[in-house]
Amino acid sequence: MEWFPRPPKPSWSSSAFSAVRWDPTVGRSSLRPSTAGRPTMPSPDATESTPQPPYTQPPYTFEPTTDSGLLREEFGELAEGTETGRQATIAGRLMLRRVQGKLAFGTLQDSAGRIQLFAPSKETPRFTAFCDLNLGDWIGVTGEVMTTRKGELSVKVQEWTLLAPTRRSFPDKWHGISDPDTRFRQRYVDLWVTPESREVFILRSRVISLMRRWLEDRNFMEVETPIFHPIPGGAAARPFTTHHNALDQELFLRIAPELYLKRLTVAGLERVFEIGRVFRNEGISPRHNPEFTMLELYQAYADYSDMMELVENLVTFLALELHGTTSLQYGGRDIELAAPWRRATMEELIAEHAGISIDLSTPIDELRSLAEGFGIPVKPSYGPGKLILEIYEKTTESALWGPVFVTDYPKEVSPLSRDHRDKPGYTERFEAIVAGRELCNAFSELIDPVEQRARMEDQVAQRDAGDDEAMVVDEDYLRAMEYGLPPTGGLGIGIDRLVMLLADVPSIRDVVLFPTLRPEQI
């Protein structure tokens, strides 16, 4: 994605992340108002004796005819000293300025990149005021497209206007901002001084756009379901709570859209998807933000094998569209995303990585002592399925580089998944692990309302036993199921983690525009 000319400084590859640019030990501070006077912005009590050009109200609109990217596309290969005779109007932020006396150069940044401004005093109106512009000011410029004697493509400043002054000091024009706290809190500064940061969010936007298109091409219909849930459900997580005054009712911010989307499958919408925010009242870490974005989709008449094919094909498509290849790097390590991905059962993978052979027929005492041997705090309520899952997560999951589909989860830990067609006690559920992280969770959906009620009641028992992430009984969902949920494959993908993978960044805060932080004391 060469929309931005990279300055010759340390790259932002993930290895440079912590070592060079994002060293967490570097200083912190906040951008404070510039105390310097602004000649273009006299204070209210400035007198008429102030020898500065009068501040004029910026225009309400401005109409650029082109941008830096289009200019580079059209005029990128001009020889030195070319005068094209073509006029251009561009707008953006002044990022650099080099005044030579009667000749000035500037660097303008717009959403497509940067381009040089060429301002000779003989042709640039209000030349002194132009030279007095501050870094960060928004300006609009009209003039001839040309190249300098050194061959730099430029727009000659033959007309210009101040669109908005900046009243705060520009960050270091070479180093930008490196303090992570400032980058997250003042993302508006980070985005225009850190090209790599913009690149990540542009990539994120493209991921979601491409995903929509891909799903729509396969006859999936996008829907929106409630974010306020009277009963939290569809995942195991603590919810945020809120209150509706007129109804005088407690409401929960959704932890997953799952149960509403499956109601729509009952309704006959055979292929639905939703891309939206979900909220989980859990810890914050480089891989967890309390609000994050999920893609969930449901496909009638499909099972979990179909979901595996869908995931690997979708991710392959995204990698090819965004990078032109499925051979990527993450954190300096190679990863091959081309379909098909490996499929292996949880127990096979435990055998590979922990060197132990266990399954649901293993005596529970043996499972308990194995788990304790791995340092897992075992609760008495844990059955064999939960113990196997705990052992998998402790010994195996983070060691999987993948991509790999981890299949056949124990029924005990999968309250919404359908029984495995061949293996009693297991479900047709899988997670895809890529770069040691869960990318998605999917299953052949449980369609039997009697079985679903039993599973929900079991969850309630676990909740009563102290598990505050266990689900509760959702009577309306059970009623919907009683009308008949067809065989259905369902899938949830964490968009943030997918973007982290595709953008090769190490923290979820690098892909969330405004991550959750403690309030700043200003």
Partner RNA sequence: GCGCCUCUAGCUCAAUUGGCAGAGCAACGGACUCUUAAUCCGCAGGUUCUGGGUUCAAGUCCCAGGGGGCGCACCA
Identity of the residue, 37 or 226, whose beta carbon is nearer to RNA in the bound complex: 37
Question: Is 465 an interacting residue with respect to RNA (CB under 7 A)?
Answer: no
Give the Å distances, CA to CA, from 202 to 11, 340, 402. Answer: 18, 28, 26
- Determine the longest span between alpha carbons in the chain, in angstroms: 92
Please give the residues from 475 up to 504 whose contact with RNA meets the rule CB under 7 A: none
- Nearest 5°: phi and psi at 119? -125, 95
Identity of the residue, 319 or 504, whose beta carbon is nearer to RNA in the bound complex: 504
Question: Is 61 an interacting residue with respect to RNA (CB under 7 A)?
Answer: no
Identity of the residue, 120 or 230, whose beta carbon is nearer to RNA in the bound complex: 120
Question: What is the number of H-type helices and E-type strands within the chain?
Answer: 14, 19
Identity of the residue, 319 or 346, whose beta carbon is nearer to RNA in the bound complex: 346
Question: Is 432 an interacting residue with respect to RNA (CB under 7 A)?
Answer: no
Contacts of 366 (CB under 8 A, 6+ apart): 358
- Residue 326 CB, nearest approach to RNA (Å): 26
| Length of the chain as a residue count | 522
- Residue 508 CB, nearest approach to RNA (Å): 9
Question: Is 30 an interacting residue with respect to RNA (CB under 7 A)?
Answer: yes
Identity of the residue, 152 or 348, whose beta carbon is nearer to RNA in the bound complex: 152
Look at residues 13, 145, 2, 174 and name the one whose alpha carbon lies nearest to residue 67. Answer: 145
Please give the residues from 220 up to 259 whose contact with RNA meets the rule CB under 7 A: 235-237
Question: Is 287 an interacting residue with respect to RNA (CB under 7 A)?
Answer: yes
Scanning 201-209, 269-277, 346-354, 407-415 for contacts with RNA by CB under 7 A, the matching segment is: 407-415
Please give the residues from 83 up to 102 whose contact with RNA meets the rule CB under 7 A: 96-102
Q: Which of 16, 78, 129, 135 binds RNA (CB under 7 A)?
A: 135
Question: Is 39 an interacting residue with respect to RNA (CB under 7 A)?
Answer: yes
Look at residues 150, 68, 169, 162 and name the one whose alpha carbon lies nearest to residue 103. Answer: 150
Identity of the residue, 319 or 499, whose beta carbon is nearer to RNA in the bound complex: 499
Give the Å distances, CA to CA, from 81 to 76, 151, 159, 399, 522. Answer: 13, 6, 21, 58, 51
Angle among Cα 227, 230, 234 to the nearest 5 degrees reads 65
Encoding tokens for residue 297?
A: 């989709």
- Beta strand pairing call for 342-345 and 404-407: parallel
Backbone conformation region of residue 432, classed left if phi is above 0, alpha if psi is from -120 to 50, else beta: beta
Identity of the residue, 198 or 218, whose beta carbon is nearer to RNA in the bound complex: 198
CB contact burial 336-371 (16+ within 10 A = b; e otherwise) = ebeeebebbbbbebbbeebebebbbebeeeebbebb
Identity of the residue, 181 or 348, whose beta carbon is nearer to RNA in the bound complex: 181
- Residue whose entry in the numeric block shows the structure tokens 């500037």: 106
Question: Is 466 an interacting residue with respect to RNA (CB under 7 A)?
Answer: no
Q: Crossing angle of helices 195-217/495-503, nearest 10°?
A: 120
Binding mask 307-346 for RNA (x = CB under 7 A): ----------------------------------------
Please give the residues from 153 up to 182 whose contact with RNA meets the rule CB under 7 A: 154, 168-182
Binding mask 339-378 for RNA (x = CB under 7 A): --------------------------------------x-
Identity of the residue, 319 or 508, whose beta carbon is nearer to RNA in the bound complex: 508
Binding mask 177-216 for RNA (x = CB under 7 A): xxxxxx-x--------------------------------
State the Cα torsion 174-179-183-188 to the nearest 10°: -50
